[in-house]
Amino acid sequence: MAKASVWAIIPNLLRSLFRSDVPIRSKILLVMGIVYLVSPIDLLPDVIAGIGWIDDLVIVPLLGWLSYRSLPPSIKEGMATDRPDSANNPATSRKWLYLVVLIVVLIGIGLLTGPDESFLKNPSGG
């Protein structure tokens, strides 16, 4: 079996959510990781700078790893050998699409959350 990097497996793991031959257990673990990542409820609050992200950096990859481990060997092998070639596979152009979507989402989050109104009323903080 070919050894693939994590960055080659992640897009294939996300695509596995829509495959019918992937076990439901793997899909549930992966969805739990995605929901935990975007959920405002965490074990450690994200308000605490740095420390609040530790649980996300541990729990989300752990659930992704468990999801990958619960896949049958034939699907794992397909994920490891599914490497996009720039000449004959449009998946490489999707990297730019993923980057643009990520930037748009981050800008959207910034615009939707906006500054705290109490800060605008009293900018000195006192």
Q: How do residues 84-125 score in pLDDT, each as one tens digit? A: 444 455 555 677 777 788 888 887 777 777 666 665 566 665
Contact 17, 64 (CB under 8 A): no
Angle, alpha carbons 80-86-88 (nearest 5°): 90
Asked whether the whole model's pTM tops 0.75, one would answer no
Q: How do residues 41-96 score in pLDDT, each as one tens digit? A: 778 777 777 777 788 888 888 998 899 899 888 888 877 665 544 445 555 567 77
